[in-house]
Amino acid sequence: MAAYGLYTHIQANRFRSIVLLVQLFLLVYVIVYAGALIIEVVHNGRGTVDYYLTVALQDVIRTLPYSTGAAALWIVIAYFFHQSIIDAVTGGEDVTRQQEPKLYNLLENLCISRGIPMPKLKIVETDALNAYATGLNRRQYAVTVTRGLLNALNDDEIEAVLGHELTHIRNDDVQMMVIAVIIAGVVGFFAELLFRGFANFGGFGWGYGGGSSWSSSSSSSSSSDNGGGRKGSGGAAIIIVIIAVVLIALAWLLSQLVRLALSRSREYLADAGSVELTKNPDAMISALRKIEGRGELPGATSAVMELCVDNPREGFSDLFATHPSVGQRIQALVKFAGGHDPGPLALLPPPTGPWNRPQTPLDGPAQPPSPPAGPWGPHGNGGEPPQPGPSEGPWSDPPGPRGSR
């Protein structure tokens, strides 16, 4: 599908994503076929390769309703509980307008400007700089940001990050990624189940049942088949086991690659969508520079990190990286959106850095901050001159009329 503009790129991305999801679901049946091969070998170690391949295919067709039903049940469970699982892993908590008024207003204004239903707003209390969107329908959509992100970024940069996540929701990227993670989880679950079950049952086929094995079945068949069954039993069983193991490993690997393909292809469009919403490419660029390499969420699984603005977990030679590099994304914004790259940005280290300064209400009066203070830090002393003293500094100004927390 050819794409010539932003919206045709979005449609092309959706089409490719649907095709990839169909292919991903088909991997479930590859796993089922590999399991059928193993079961046939365990129950009958005297067949030929053609016999095993044919009978296993018949088993897959016969059990198709059951395997499809099991996969569908997994998807239904994940549909209703995936948000609770993600929140349990990351520690995300719902916040209201009263708790975080400025952040809430930034998100609401973006939604109103494009007629997008207001998603839930969540915050993770961590120093990491990251954000992600989740949900499968309008009632489930949620945008989650970290406390470290709020402390380190200014209003324009936070608005750009929120626009990035809203674009994922607008483009149905969140739905695609959550479904992909669910289906890939089905593939991984059945693959591990087969490996564990077969290993426990027969040591990967080399023996089971109190000492009986394919070699013993081969020897017993050879005595009755005059040597003709020896070649077609034990040898065929070993070949089928190798085929089954290769199919399981290949299905698992392909399921991971499909997830990566979905994740990598959507980030450029989300960056572009953020610029379309905010009309501020420089804010998106500087936000990416500040987030770069600082987004690791403690305890988060790889599936959760794939949903984030930036995933610092890099793969081998960038082959298994779930996101394009920050440099590549910024180059695209500079080239196509006219932004300016300030280069890598250094954040202040603790204890004077923005991650450790006292928290203040997000709706306080806008005061010109003293470097290196940011707009999300203390609000100063309400415009009064700071009191001199040995501890005078940007973080030690006495509280003003509104105070600080």
User: How big is the CA angle at 241 (ends 237 and 243), to the nearest 5 degrees?
Assistant: 115
Across the range 22-37, mean pLDDT stands at 85
What's the CA angle centered on 233, arms 227 and 234, to 5 degrees?
100
Alpha-carbon gap, residue 140 to 120, rounded angstroms:
8
Q: What is the pLDDT of residues 350-388, one digit of tens each?
A: 434 443 444 444 444 444 444 444 444 444 444 445 454
Q: Which of 232-241, 318-327, 392-401 has the lowest mean pLDDT?
A: 392-401
Identify the CA nearest to 193 among candidates 95, 74, 103.
Answer: 74
Cβ(178)–Cβ(135) below 8 Å: yes
- Is 165 tagged catalytic? yes
Q: What is the reported pLDDT for 128?
A: 93
Nearest Cα neighbor of 85 from 121, 135, 126, 129 is 135
Predicted local confidence at residue 305, as pLDDT: 84
SS (H, E, C) 132-143: EEECCCCCCCEE
Confidence (pTM): 0.67
Q: Which carries the bigger pLDDT value, residue 332 or residue 313?
A: 332
Tokens linked to 78: 């994940």
Task: Report angle CA 135, 136, 138 to the nearest 5 degrees.
Answer: 80
Residue-wise pLDDT tens digits, 262-310: 666 688 889 999 999 999 999 999 999 999 989 999 888 877 888 899 8
Let me know: does 259 contact 180? Beta carbons within 8 Å: yes
Mean pLDDT lowest among 194-198, 266-270, 333-337:
194-198
Cα-only R_g, the chain:
28
> Are residues 376 and 362 in contact, defined by beta-carbon separation less than 8 angstroms?
yes
pLDDT at 143 over 70: yes
* Whole-number Å distance between alpha carbons of 326 and 301: 21
Per residue in 86-117, pLDDT tens? 888 889 999 999 999 999 999 999 999 888 88
Compute the residue count for the chain: 405
Q: Tell me 145's DSSP state.
A: E
Which of 2-11, 15-24, 153-162, 343-352 shows the lowest per-residue confidence on average (mean pLDDT)? Answer: 2-11
Q: In terms of DSSP H, where are the helices of 279-325? A: 281-291, 302-305
Where do the structural domains in the chain lie, given as residue ranges? 1-347
Least confident of 4-8, 326-330, 358-362: 358-362
How large is the average pLDDT for residues 201-229? Answer: 43
Cβ count within 10 A of residue 391: 8
Reported as a single tens digit per residue, the pLDDT across 43-65 is 887 788 899 999 999 999 998 89
**pLDDT, mean of residues 198-202:** 59
Q: What is the DSSP string of 150-164?
A: HHHS-HHHHHHHHHH
- The one catalytic residue in 100, 157, 159, 165 is 165
Query: Which of 120, 121, 123 has the alpha carbon at shortest distance from 146?
Result: 123
